[in-house]
Each structure stands twice: as C-alpha cells, then as structure tokens.
Structure 1
Amino acid sequence: MRYATREFRLASALVEAADTLTEDFDATRYLQRVSDHCVELLNARAAGVMLIDGGRSVSLAASSRHEQLGLDLLEAQHDGGPCLESYGSGRPVPPVSIRVAHAAARWPDFTERALRHDIVTTFAVPLRIRDQLLGALNVFVPTPPSRHVDAVPELEVAQALADAAALGLQNRRTCTRYRTLSGQLQEALSSRIRIEQAKGMLAERWGVSADQAFVALRQYARRHRLALDQVAGMVIEGAAVDAELRREIDEGPEGPAWSPGHQGV
C-alpha cells in the first residue's frame, strides 16, 4: 500500500511538473515545487535544482523545507559536487556516503559543508531532454545509502521528476520564444499599417503621390532622428507639424531643386 501511495503521489507530481504554460509562471517557484516533491517522495531532508549553462551554475532553487540548507549545499558546489558531476557526465550520481566522499577528498568544499548540516547521503540526476542538458537535481538525505532493493527506484523517482522538470522548462522556453516572435511580427504588421495610413492621409491632404508622402515621412524621421513608425503615429494622431512635413517634399532629399513630381522612394 505504501508503494501504491507513493506511485500516486509521483504521478500527481509529474502532472504538476508539466503545467508550465500558465501566465504567472515563475521558474524559481516551479523548481522549488519540484524539489519539494523530491523531499516528500524520497524522505530527504532537502533537495535542490541547479540550472547550468556552459558548465557554470546560472540559477539555484531549493525545497521550501530547509530551503537555506539546500541553497547552501548547492552554492558549495562551485568547485565540484554531485550536480556538476551529473551534468558533466549526463548520468545520475548514485547515492554517495558524505563521510566516505569526504575522506577520499571527493568534492571537499561540498562534503565539508554537508557534514556540518548532518547530511549523510547525497545523490543527483541530470535535468535532460534527450541529449540536451539543462542542469541537475540534487537530493540530500539524513540517513546512510540504502542497501535495499529500493535504492535503485529512489534514483529512478528522482530522474522521473528531473525529466519532467526539464521538459516543462523547455516547453515554457519554446512557448515564450514563439510568443515573443508573434509579438514582434504583430508589431511589425501594425507598424506597416500605421505607415501606410499616414502615407494615405498625407497624399490625400497634399494632393501628391503616396511615394512622395512616404519620402516626406522618411526624410522627417531622419532629420529628427525618430523611428518612421513614430512619425507615422504622429501624423495619424495629428501631433506632427504639417508645414515641417510638407517642407520635406518642397525641398526633397536632394535639396530645393528636387521636383515635387519625383516618384523615387
């Protein structure tokens, strides 16, 4: 029954980890929640996630339970630790005795810090999407490494959560990228519409061609170091000085000798 209960909780945690497309998404809070699930499911004292880019830590998040402890142990890994080792190899770091690792001078800074916090065992798994590595999930346990058959499933539970988190983060990044691109395209389209509208207004008002009106807009924008779209908006809103704009046609890009009938753009 205990296993069935944990499986149910793991399934719920995986579903929650997939929900990253909400408007109020916050990456740190999200990774903290993933770490919370690790603590609850693996009977750990704390857990944390280190996002890594180019071999260097770029973001840390720890479980809300013993959060400062978790952050402290993540920060202690600047010169080496389970997170960097798991990230570097792309494979899990199985449960390790902190005392044994300390005696062997493996991750000296990290193990010394872990001993001060009475952490007995640690293990880590990579945050990965196929061959793409985003970081690692580290679990800190107050009991010795288990020799029981359940030791492997513990690592597999952590890896399932890490995989779900990596997928959730990637989906969020992809969604954000497409939203940004969509916004840029929409703004470009809106800008084009404003420019065309301003051209039409000036051409009709002055009795000139649309090309001549465009030249006036462009020359005015250059002369005053303004964006063309901004000048178009000024025309539409009636904020532009008509006489100054018309002077661009009268003088033209080559000076007063430019003919108002010129059609160049």
Structure 2
Amino acid sequence: MQDTTREGRLAAALVEAADTLTEAFDTGDYLRRLSDHCVELLSAWAAGIMLIDDGAAVSLAASSHREEIALELLAAQHAGGPCLESYGSGRPVPPVSIRVAHAASRWPEFTERALRHGIVTTFAVPVRRRDDLLGALNVFVPTLPDHAPDGGRSELLVAQALADAAALGLQNHRTYSQFRSLAGQLQEALSSRVRIEQAKGMLAERWQVGTDEAFIALRQYARRRRLPLNLVARAVIERGMDDAELRTP
C-alpha cells in the first residue's frame, strides 16, 4: 500500500534519489524529478536545481510545474541569487521575501524577474556531499516567510535532505560511470592483446617461423602504414592481409 503521508513520500523520494546506478540515467530527468518532489512535498510554487562548477552554472533543471518560469529565474541568477549565495557559503539561504530582498537591492535582476512572475518567497539549500559542493536547490514559495509555522525551518530541512540525496546520487553515478568506462578500456586492452597473440601464432605457423619473428613483421607493417597494431592483427585473423606485404622488411 502506498504511503500518502509526508514522511512516507519523503522517504520514497530519498530512495528514488539514490537509484542512479543504471545505464539509462539522465541527469536532466533526474534533477527535474527531484524538483518535482520539492514542489509536492513543500507545497511550493516551483523549484529548480543549478549545478555549479568554478562559480559558474553548468546545468539548470526545474520542476515540471512552471518549468519555463523556474528556468528563467535560475538563469537570472548569473549576477547573484539564492543559488549562488548558498553555493558560495555552503549553507542554506533561509526563506526571504522577494519584495524585501528587492527593496534592499539584494539580487536585483533575480528579484525583479521573480516579482514580475508573482513569486512571494524563495529559499535555497546547497547540493553537497561532505565538502564537495555541486550546486544548489532553489524553491519558490507562494506565502511570506512569516506565515510559515516555524519560519520555514521544516521546509529547509526537507529541501536539504533532498539536496543531500541528490548530491549522493550524482556522485554515485559519476563513480559508476568511471568504473564502467575503466572496465570497458581494460576489456578492450585484453581483447586487443588476445588478437595480437592469435595473429602471431597464425603467422608463425603459416610461415614456419618463431612467434617473435611473426610479431616483428606485424609491428613493422603497423608502423609503415601508421595503423594500430590491434587492427593489423584483426586483419591477419580475418585473412584480409597480404603475406608478401607483411613480410617486407
């Protein structure tokens, strides 16, 4: 039976955020789904995630609900905003009134656009794994901070839990992809070595020479033609190589 309580839905969202060890993983879809969980769990107007590297945004993703506007608000933070502030400090930016921030000239471009779209309040939390900061999660709320039961503290905690889970999921997938790539490289290196040994053996038997002599012929041909030795070996195995040319000094 599906748990419809907020705690149950949060637990399900955290489990989903950890499920990134798959070939079908797509970062954009993953972050969009996480933003959707924020909107659902926090009764937010919209939400978005900005991945940041060296102080500059490298990827933006927003909730399906009001996605276009949320992406616009994320993009408007290139000169300053809750995402960059949270990322820069490594700490949450508590709920702040957009009108108050605009009057104080805090994030001018961002607050101007937010007011244009009727945003009332925003807050942000860092997407982090221990000391590794990946970006920030930005939430847009339809009520003023003073109207929240505890000043928005519980919302911050839920958002931070989702952001921490996202950081863990992203790092796990990065590590998984690196190991998959390394495993593929090692497998290809092993297959290449097997092909070369097989080609050496075939030539040695066909020419009635030692395997060292056969290998020298393979290597010299590959150098003359500027071809990878592995490709030359494959051609020998597939009978696509002229013996006379191979044996040319």
Secondary structure of the residue that 1:57 maps to in structure 2? strand
Structure 2 partner of 1:243 = 244
Query: What residue number does 2:181 align with?
Result: 180
Q: Is residue 37 of structure 1 aligned with residue 37 of structure 2?
A: yes
Map 1:130-141 → 2, pairs under 5 A: 130-141=130-141
Give the distance between the partners of 1:221 and 1:23, measured in 2 at CA. Answer: 36
2:119 corresponding residue in structure 1 = 119
Aligned amino acid, residue 217 of structure 1:
L
Q: Which residue of 1 aligns with 2:57?
A: 57
Cα distance in structure 1, aligned partners of 2:40 and 2:148? 20
What are the Cα deviations for residues 203-241 of structure 1, in whole angstroms up to 9, with x where unaligned? 111111111111111111111111000000000001111
Per-residue deviation, residues 234-262 of structure 1 (Å, max 9, x unmatched): 00001111110011xxx2xxxxxxxxxxx
Match of 2:197 in 1: 196
> 1:181, 1:103 → 2: CA distance?
53
Q: CA deviation at 1:23?
A: 2.6
1:207-246 paired onto structure 2 within 5 Å: 207-246=208-247
SS at structure 2 position matched to 1:58? strand
Number of aligned positions between the proteins: 245
- TM-score with structure 2 length normalisation? 0.96
What corresponds to 1:258 in structure 2?
none
Distance 1:149 1:88 in 2: 26
Please name the residue that 1:205 is paired with: 206
Judging changes above 3 Å, is the alpha-carbon distance between structure 1 residues 150 and 10 closer, same or farther for their aligned structure 2 residues? farther
Larger Rg: 1
Q: Deviations over 1:34-83 (max 9, x none)?
A: 00000011111110000011111000000001000110000000111000
1:97 lines up with 2:87 in the alignment: no
Task: Out of 148-157 and 108-117, give the one that drifted further.
Answer: 148-157
Q: Deviations over 1:155-174 (max 9, x none)?
A: 00000000001100111000
Q: Does 1:67 align with 2:67?
A: yes
Q: Which runs of 5+ in 2 are unaligned?
A: none
Partner of 1:259: none
Superposed counterparts of 1:137-152, under 5 Å: 137-145=137-145, 146-149=147-150, 151-152=152-153
Query: Deviation at 1:5?
Result: 1.3
Q: 1:148: Cα distance to partner?
A: 2.3
Following the alignment from structure 2 to structure 1, what is the Cα–Cα distance between the partners of residues 215 and 144? 76
2:16 corresponds to which residue? 16
Cα distance in structure 1, aligned partners of 2:80 and 2:204: 68
Identity among equivalent pairs (%): 74
Gaps of 5+ in 1: 252-265
